[in-house]
Amino acid sequence: MLFASYGFIAFIAVMLAAYYLTPARWQWITLLVGSYVFYAFAGLECFVFILFTTVSAYIISRLIEREIKKENDYVAANRDTISKEERKAYRARAKKKRFHILLWGLFLNFGVLAVLKYSAFAVSNVNSIIALFGAKTLSLPSLIVPMGISFYTFQTMGYLIDVYRAKVTPERNPAKLALFVSFFPQLVQGPISRFSELGAQLTAPHRFNAKTVSFGLQRVLWGYFKKLVIADRVVIAIKTMLDSPEEYRGAYVLLLILLYSIQIYADFTGGIDITVGVAEAMGIKLAENFDRPFSSKSTKEYWRRWHITMGSWFRDYIFMPISVTRPMMKLNKAMAGKFGRVAASKTVAYIATTVTWFVTGLWHGAAWNFIVWGLLNCLVIMISEALEPTYKKFHQRFPRLTESKAYSKFMSVRTFMLMGVIRSLDCYGNVGLTFALWGSMFTLGGLGELLSGGIFELGLAAKDFIIVLVAVLVVYAVSVASVKGSVRERLYGRPVLSACLFGALLIAVIMFGAYGVGYDASQFIYGDRFR
């Protein structure tokens, strides 16, 4: 069931009614049933995989819990009879044992994800090598990729790692864990929640509260505005250019980068608004996934503000563990003696950053363009890091310039453009072609043609561009206003103004939503990519 469909809106209405009509202590069961019904629309065969993740996570988490209890009981009973060194050695052995149990959970679940999502990519790469030797190539496997498998696998593995780290107490009721794995609003495109933040909320009773429900629905409406009025309109011009990319070079590439930045922002943040809004209407607060990312002044900052839950997942469960592994610590110490502490730490951090971004690229899609996309982001971050002392000197040398508003805007625009250029690897889907088209931008061929009317031959008329422009300005204005606090909260005390504004928003969605324009208007970019 797609978010941008009448079916989903009807489903939400039924879910909200059922949720608040259910006695408080059974509400979580309504949520679980609703989540499974929602998932059933994706195909019953997908159930096997989500159930596998749930059952395996339950068993592994309970086994780890048992080991932690054994360890703590032993230490408590022998605290006075064994030395500190013996105690530490015992804890290290116990941790290693539960790490092996955790590995089974990770291996099984990431294994399923790898086979379903990446085997065709792996086979096609093997085929490319085989073909060089003239041997017979292998046939590509055609496997189903269950809806939301990347999201629920990463979320559930985060839970398992937290149990292993003794950061959370494992859920003892398998049905409650099943709800954490399958909570329907976030199944399609995240956010990737932490059990410590979401687990208890899902099963807690929530009484009907008009303000909470109306705030949630307002956020849903805002999401549809971004998705239907902006994203699904600009995608028409993007699609035209991508259908024959060789024809749209030079200035058109720049236009595509700009339009795609607008589309992905409106599409992804709009989808998350719908997700967070639906949860909010049921009294459940999900983690925010965006914090005005396009105002970032550096790539590093951008990645702290875009797809926040994914970034923090990779930081906490990949970057940090790699950085402090024994081999890395040894490398750090060995290098510190020879080249100094800064160089040693930088080397370790750069290795961990490269691995993290390689995996981030792979997570975004089973294709080379995504891997190159990840590694380019990594390269920009590492270059910025290496140039940090130079920037510092520049800032000290020209304080009036670097502290001016104009310089700050320049940094934001620079970051926006840089991220936009790298992001266009998503669109073209072919690394060689993308590089060639980037090169064509410098000639700016086609600028005259574009400005003399070519822009209106991409499937969007002048009025479409005006609608997009006005809508983008509205989104920008709300984004700026939200810096000072919740816009909905400020409107809450002014019911007439609030009703007028949200009424206008609803009318805008109905009147200007890009419906029936001959393409699949309802699919979300991230939902599609992370099935």
Partner 1 sequence: MEKLIEMLTELHPDVDFATAEDLIDDGVLDSLDIVSLVSQIDSEFGVTIPAEEIIPENFNSAEALFALITRLDEE
For position 323 contacting partner 1 by CB under 8 A, the verdict is yes
Q: Please answer whether residues 302 and 384 qualify as being in contact, where contact means their C-beta atoms are separated by less than 8 angstroms.
A: no
Q: Per-residue string for binding with partner 1, 166-195, x by CB under 8 A? A: xx----------------------------
410: exposed, middle or buried (C-beta count within 10 Å: 0-12, 13-18, 19+)? Answer: middle
Residue that is written with structure tokens 């709300």 in the block: 478
Q: How far is the CB of 92 from partner 1 (least distance, A)?
A: 9
Interface segment toward partner 1; rule CB under 8 A; list 290-298, 321-329, 363-371, 409-417: 321-329
Cα angle, residue 364 at apex, residues 228 and 181 outer, rounded to 5° = 80
**Cα 84 to Cα 96: distance, rounded to the nearest angstrom:** 18
Q: Which residues contact 159 (CB under 8 A, 6 or more apart)?
A: 57, 61, 168, 180, 194, 195
Q: How far is the CB of 164 from partner 1 (least distance, A)?
A: 9
Which of 321, 327, 432, 448 touches partner 1 (CB under 8 A)? Answer: 321
Interface segment toward partner 1; rule CB under 8 A; list 143-151, 279-287, 332-340, 363-371: 332-340
Q: Which residues contact 487 (CB under 8 A, 6 or more apart)?
A: 478, 481
The 3-class SS string of 397-409 reads: HCHHHHCCHHHHH
> Max alpha carbon distance in the chain (Å)?
87
Residue placing its CB nearer to partner 1 in the complex, 7 or 321: 321
516: exposed, middle or buried (C-beta count within 10 Å: 0-12, 13-18, 19+)? Answer: exposed
Composition of the chain by helix, strand, coil, percent to 5:
80, 0, 20
For position 165 contacting partner 1 by CB under 8 A, the verdict is yes
Residue placing its CB nearer to partner 1 in the complex, 162 or 426: 162
Which of 295, 332, 415, 434 touches partner 1 (CB under 8 A)? Answer: 332
Residues touching partner 1, count (CB under 8 A): 27
Which of 324, 473, 499, 500 touches partner 1 (CB under 8 A)? Answer: 324
Helix spans in 133-194 (H): 149-164, 174-182
For the chain, the C-alpha Rg in angstroms (whole number) is 25
Residue placing its CB nearer to partner 1 in the complex, 352 or 419: 352
Which of 194, 226, 307, 346 touches partner 1 (CB under 8 A)? Answer: 346
For position 275 contacting partner 1 by CB under 8 A, the verdict is no
Q: How far is the CB of 86 from partner 1 (least distance, A)?
A: 13
Instruction: Tell me which residues in 80-99 interact with partner 1 (CB under 8 A).
Output: 87-88, 91
Residue placing its CB nearer to partner 1 in the complex, 349 or 472: 349
Instruction: Tell me which residues in 369-408 interact with partner 1 (CB under 8 A).
Output: 385
Residue placing its CB nearer to partner 1 in the complex, 212 or 345: 345
Residue placing its CB nearer to partner 1 in the complex, 126 or 342: 342
Residue that is written with structure tokens 């790692």 in the block: 161
Residue placing its CB nearer to partner 1 in the complex, 345 or 482: 345
For position 333 contacting partner 1 by CB under 8 A, the verdict is yes
Q: Please answer whether residues 122 and 140 qualify as being in contact, where contact means their C-beta atoms are separated by less than 8 angstroms.
A: no
For position 319 contacting partner 1 by CB under 8 A, the verdict is yes
For position 297 contacting partner 1 by CB under 8 A, the verdict is no
Tokens of 37: 């019904």
CA dihedral sign, ordered 67, 73, 76, 82: negative
Residue that is written with structure tokens 């939400």 in the block: 12
For position 342 contacting partner 1 by CB under 8 A, the verdict is yes
Q: How far is the CB of 74 from partner 1 (least distance, A)?
A: 13
Q: How far is the CB of 315 from partner 1 (least distance, A)?
A: 8
Q: Look up residue 140 and give its DSSP letter.
A: P
For position 101 contacting partner 1 by CB under 8 A, the verdict is no
- Buried-exposed string 133-150: b where 16+ CB fall within 10 A, e elsewhere: eeeeeeeeeeeebbbbbb
Q: How far is the CB of 323 from partner 1 (least distance, A)?
A: 5
Which of 2, 349, 433, 455 touches partner 1 (CB under 8 A)? Answer: 349
Q: How far is the CB of 59 from partner 1 (least distance, A)?
A: 22
Residues that bind partner 1 in the complex, under the rule CB under 8 A:
87-88, 91, 162, 165-167, 315-316, 319-321, 323-324, 329, 332-333, 336, 341-342, 344-346, 348-349, 352, 385
